[in-house]
Amino acid sequence: MPLTELGMSFGTPISCLFSEHSPKIGAFALCYFEPEGIMQKLIHQLKYQGKQAIGDWFGTWCGNELLKQEGLPKFDWVLPVPLHPKRQRKRGYNQCNRFGKRIAGCIGSTYTDRILIRHVFQTTQTTKDRTSRLANIRGAFTVVHPELLENKRVLLIDDVITTGATLNACCEALSDIPGIRISIAAMAVVP
């Protein structure tokens, strides 16, 4: 496995993708995602072939890795990047749900996929560059019951961090909540 060996901290190459929202967003990814590599194959099986046990495995691994990190705060909530309801109906599941539930179980947090909502349907981001991705996804997310996240620590999770556009759009939707502190965890990151 192409491990990143980067802990959850500020100022890492991963966390720098999110500094436009806050210089204090810590970010963590287990592995590097390379074309035709093992991570691409595993995530493709998870997303498109229904092999959700891969999410369980990565979630347990990620949760245990997070527990090993000194000074990591207690997270109140674990939130997945949501799929638009149309895409979720087509796929049958969000590939991040079981990943997030396992992380939450390991680190003693509450998991929910009912607070951060994707309300705008977009075409796939996979063929777009960073600028196009940012423009395509901006404003696509809404927070319902933001009062539940006030003064809370949130771990936002996704399968792959490519350009950071989707996670940045999620952070933008969450950033108006008073006292919220956001960190990010993913299975993989594009180097």
**Would residue 7 count as lying in a domain?**
no
**Would residue 8 count as lying in a domain?**
no
Domains: count for the chain: 1
User: Who has greater pLDDT, 31 or 8?
Assistant: 31
Determine the pLDDT at residue 1.
83
For the chain, give the mean pLDDT.
88
Determine the pLDDT at residue 126.
58
Give per-residue pLDDT as tens, 136-156.
Answer: 677 889 999 999 999 999 999
State the DSSP string of the chain. Answer: --B----SBTTSTTGGGGTTT-TT-EEEEEEE--TTSHHHHHHHHHHHS--THHHHHHHHHHHHHHHTSTTPPPPSEEEEPPPPHHHHHHHSS-TTHHHHHHHHHHHT-EE-SSSEEE-S----STT--HHHHHHHHTT-EEESSGGGGTT-EEEEEEEEESSSHHHHHHHHHHTTSTT-EEEEEEEEE--
Q: Measured between alpha carbons, how far is residue 166 from residues 17, 36, 72, 161 in Å?
A: 11, 22, 24, 8
Question: What CATH number is associated with residue 147?
Answer: 3.40.50.2020
**Would residue 10 count as lying in a domain?**
no
**Would residue 69 count as lying in a domain?**
yes
Give per-residue pLDDT as tens, 96-131.
Answer: 999 999 999 999 999 999 999 998 876 555 566 656
Per-residue pLDDT, averaged over 12-27, amounts to 71
> Range with the lowest mean pLDDT among 12-26, 29-43, 96-110, 164-178?
12-26
**Would residue 9 count as lying in a domain?**
no
CB atoms closer than 10 angstroms to residue 53 = 11
Phi/psi of residue 89, nearest 5 degrees: -60, -40
Measure the N-to-C terminal CA separation of the chain; round to a whole number of Å. 14
**pTM of the complete model:** 0.88
Domain hosting residue 132, numbered range: 15-189
**Would residue 4 count as lying in a domain?**
no
Determine the pLDDT at residue 59.
97
**Would residue 39 count as lying in a domain?**
yes
**Would residue 103 count as lying in a domain?**
yes
Asked whether residue 11 carries a pLDDT value surpassing 80, the answer given is no
Give per-residue pLDDT as tens, 53-67.
Answer: 999 999 999 999 999
